[in-house]
Amino acid sequence: MGLLDKQFTDDNIIITKVEDLLNWARLSSLWQMGFGLACCAIEMMATSASHYDFDRFGVIPRPSPRQSDVIIISGTVTFKMAIRIKRLYEQMPDHKYVISMGSCSNCGGPYWEHGYHVLKGVDRVIPVDVYVPGCPPRPEALLEGLLKLQEKIRNETLVSKTA
């Protein structure tokens, strides 16, 4: 509780909005689905490993879609894989978020023209919250994408998902 530490003089009662509390809880423990697709997955692993350390933002890899809040589409989505990705997304519990990592999952990347087996953007099968550009994006770029997602969650209301 770094933000609220030593902020109180006597009784520790906080008055806040339900929305703010829920949003704060959601954005501080975004469990990520540990799911690698292609080259970007290596950068995703590097982001979660010692040097860049995802965990300090509350992002912990989970092996199952049923336990995760955010799915990072890290790499080229092929037609054969697109069906599986859609199903994995549907298995995640609600409030779920999608980060599209890298050019391939944004728009097809280097395979946009002749890749007869490559889906030209994962947003054709599932809704995407944050697009991270790059081929592959640097770990810093992925972290920036994550911070953008947290910003987005912070502004959510109970009435509608996107503020």
Partner 1 sequence: MALKTEEMVLNMGPQHPSTHGVLRLELVIEGEIIKNVTPHIGYLHRCFEKHCEVMTYPQIIPYTDRMDYLASMCNEFGYVVAVERLMGIEVPERVEYIRVIMAELQRIASHLVAIGTYGADIGAFTPFLFCFRDREKILNLFEITCGARLLYNYIWIGGVMHDLHPDFIRLTKEFIKEFRPNLKELNDLLTFNQIFIDRTANVGILPAETAINYGITGPNLRASGVNWDLRINDPYSIYDRFDFKIPVGKGENGTVGDCWNRYYMRILEMEESLKIVEQAINQIPDGDVSSAIPKRVKPPAGQIYSRVENPRGELGYFIVSDGSVNPTRIKVRAPSFVNMVVFGELCKGHMVADVVAILGSIDIVLGEIDR
63 binds partner 1 (CB under 8 A): yes
Which one among 25, 135, 158, 163 touches partner 1, defined by CB under 8 A?
135
CB neighbourhood size of 77 (10 A): 25
The Cα 113–Cα 135 span in angstroms is 16
49 binds partner 1 (CB under 8 A): yes
Omega before residue 136 within 30° of 0, cis: yes
118 binds partner 1 (CB under 8 A): yes
CB of 14 to partner 1, least distance (A): 36
Residues 11-40 that bind partner 1 (CB under 8 A): 34-39
For partner 1, the closer of residues 81 and 153 by Cβ is 81
Assigned token pair, 50: 């010692």
58 binds partner 1 (CB under 8 A): no
Helix, strand, coil distribution of the chain in percent, nearest 5 = 40, 15, 45
Three-class SS state of 12: coil
> If you count them, how many residues does the chain have?
163
Q: Which residues bind partner 1 (CB under 8 A)?
A: 34-39, 41-43, 45-46, 49-51, 61, 63, 65, 75-76, 78, 80-81, 84, 88, 110-111, 114-118, 135-136, 138
